[in-house]
Chains A and B, each alone.
Chain A
Amino acid sequence: MTSHNRGHMKSYQTIQKCCAALLSSLFLFAGSAFAQAVDQSTPDGLIKTVVSDVMASVKSDPEIQKGNIPRIVDLVDKKIVPYTDMRRTTEMAMGPIWKKATPEQQAQLVSEFKNLLIRTYSGALSQLRDQTIQYKPLRAAPDDKEVVVKTVVIGRGDPIPLDYRLEKTANGWKVYDMNIMGVWLVEAYRNQFANQISQNGVDGLVKFLQDRNKQLAAAKPAN
């Protein structure tokens, strides 16, 4: 091979690399454009888009199906958390004690509660396979600031009613409570939080949640 040829080869490789970089950045761009395209203007539209996006991601990712927790947490952080208002969720679950907590405690509570919910439901997410989601007609007036979107998860076993409570914010609709098989998350946690606080104070609750999250992070996946 002559040196001339080698030079050719090299420039060809450079062009190839350039093309690859360009292509992948295009894909990235398209990806972020799609992420922004989530329709947050109507509550049921938002739920439909997010749910189908998450289901498609789980189905196409064997690692998630195997129960790879960091991957699931990543998915939840990217595709679910942006459309939730965890601060409101935590606040509602805390009740009147919320106001007595310092801003630092509040921030800690929001983040630890969020982690607890992600950890406990990551197992359920990894179970998504051939389920279909049935959306019940939305019963809300156009100027409602709070609505409930009702769905049913149909798969093997009994159908699971899954409802979402959303609020209209300046940044579009946000989910702040969920009803699983007839149980609202916020309501289920009210006594849990209140009892822990009356035993050990707000700091006690923060510490409990931190410890539990560490414990769950250390546990090996169920499947």
Chain B
Amino acid sequence: MQWLVKLKRLALLGLVAGMVGCASIPAGVEPSPHDPWEPFNRSVFEFNEGLDAYVLKPVVAGYRFVLPEFIRDGIYNFFSNYSDIYTALQNLLQGKPGDAFSDLMRVVVNTTFGLGGLIDMATPGGLPKHKEDWGQTFGVWGIPSGPYVVLPFFGPSSVRDTFGTAADLESDYLFGYVKDIGLRNSITGLRVVNARNTYYEAGDLLDGAAIDKYSFMRDAYIQRREYQINEGREDEEVLMPPYQNPYE
């Protein structure tokens, strides 16, 4: 049965890829060395933008209208606490036992004193939140990111981070213990809405700031992932050489 589910997923992906077709690069845009599949990526980007504008954003707007802020915060904290378990695991895999222990303490503190994760007691208590995923762990292990990829539904990614996302989804099985399918699907839906809600204002900001949103998001994504992967390293200073300024 397992392979049937996988086949279904694959067919869905194929369907999306077929639907989006190929968009062309706007004239005069320099091809980026990180983005050899730009025409394909742009079309998936367009698909995601449409999905966001017509489905996700209106749903999140309703979510914000219906639920008061403290409930939304509680929902956010709940999923954030849940993801801290994975972050702890990833930090361990990245050879950062100190951070892993801190993350685990966060889960313990927030699950008990924070009423099952609804309140974040750990951050004000001096245990800062980290966020790590499989893509970052692969990066820390020295696997290069490969070309930039825009995934349907998931958005900006790279070849490495696509495998990372797949591994994230595979290892994210705790909610699989929820036997009631309706409830499980509701939880998944709520997670998606909660995740989009976190970027509600940031999304509008991006529309105003970017000249070409596609390349702006791409360049920002590539920079951000490098930063996330390197932030825990001792030699991080190397990352920030003083700018040369030959244009004066």
**B-contacting 9-mer, from A18-26, A55-63, A186-194:** A186-194
Does B216 contact A192, Cβ atoms closer than 8 Å?
yes
**Is the C-beta of A48 less than 8 angstroms from some C-beta in chain B?**
no
Does B28 contact A199, Cβ atoms closer than 8 Å?
yes
- Complex A-B: 6 CB contacts under 8 Å: A120-B205, A123-B205, A158-B129, A188-B223, A193-B211, A199-B28
CB distance from A133 to the nearest CB of B (A): 13
Question: Which 7 pairs between the two chains have the least Cβ-Cβ distance?
Answer: A182-B227, A199-B28, A182-B224, A120-B209, A192-B211, A146-B242, A98-B247
**Is the C-beta of B165 less than 8 angstroms from some C-beta in chain A?**
no
Does A158 contact B128, Cβ atoms closer than 8 Å?
no
Chain A proximity mask over B183-218: 1 for CB below 8 Å, otherwise 0: 000000000000000100100110011111001100
Per the bound structure, the CA–CA distance linking A142 and B242 in Å amounts to 15
Chain A proximity mask over B103-130: 1 for CB below 8 Å, otherwise 0: 0000000000000000000010000110
What residue in chain A is nearest B225 (Cβ atoms)?
A182
Chain B proximity mask over A136-147: 1 for CB below 8 Å, otherwise 0: 000100000110
Per the bound structure, the CA–CA distance linking A194 and B211 in Å amounts to 11
Looking at chain B, what size class is its interface with the partner chain? 35 or more
Does B247 contact A96, Cβ atoms closer than 8 Å?
yes
**Is the C-beta of B220 less than 8 angstroms from some C-beta in chain A?**
yes
Contacts A92-B247, A148-B240 given; does A195 touch B201 at CB 8 Å:
no
Count A interface residues, CB 8 Å. Answer: 52
Residues of A within 8 A of B28 (CB): 195, 198-200
CB distance from B110 to the nearest CB of A (A): 14
Per the bound structure, the CA–CA distance linking A198 and B128 in Å amounts to 44
**Is the C-beta of B170 less than 8 angstroms from some C-beta in chain A?**
no
Residues of A within 8 A of B32 (CB): 191
**Is the C-beta of A39 less than 8 angstroms from some C-beta in chain B?**
no
**Is the C-beta of B46 less than 8 angstroms from some C-beta in chain A?**
no
Question: A194: which of B30, B76, B210, B227 is its contact (CB, 8 Å)?
Answer: B30
Question: B201: which of A119, A194, A199, A222 is its contact (CB, 8 Å)?
Answer: A222
Does A159 contact B128, Cβ atoms closer than 8 Å?
yes
Judged by DSSP, the binding face of A is helix
Does B247 contact A212, Cβ atoms closer than 8 Å?
no
Does A91 contact B247, Cβ atoms closer than 8 Å?
yes
**Is the C-beta of B180 less than 8 angstroms from some C-beta in chain A?**
no
Does A188 contact B73, Cβ atoms closer than 8 Å?
no
Residues of A within 8 A of B26 (CB): 195, 199
Residues of B within 8 A of A212 (CB): 208, 211
Does B201 contact A127, Cβ atoms closer than 8 Å?
yes
Residues of B within 8 A of A156 (CB): 73, 76
What residue in chain A is nearest B210 (Cβ atoms)?
A192
What residue in chain B is nearest A194 (Cβ atoms)?
B30
Residues of A within 8 A of B30 (CB): 191, 194-195, 198
Question: A192: which of B129, B204, B215, B246 is its contact (CB, 8 Å)?
Answer: B215
Per the bound structure, the CA–CA distance linking A124 and B246 in Å amounts to 33
Does A124 contact B129, Cβ atoms closer than 8 Å?
no
Does A188 contact B216, Cβ atoms closer than 8 Å?
yes
Does B201 contact A123, Cβ atoms closer than 8 Å?
yes
Question: B245: which of A92, A161, A183 is its contact (CB, 8 Å)?
Answer: A92
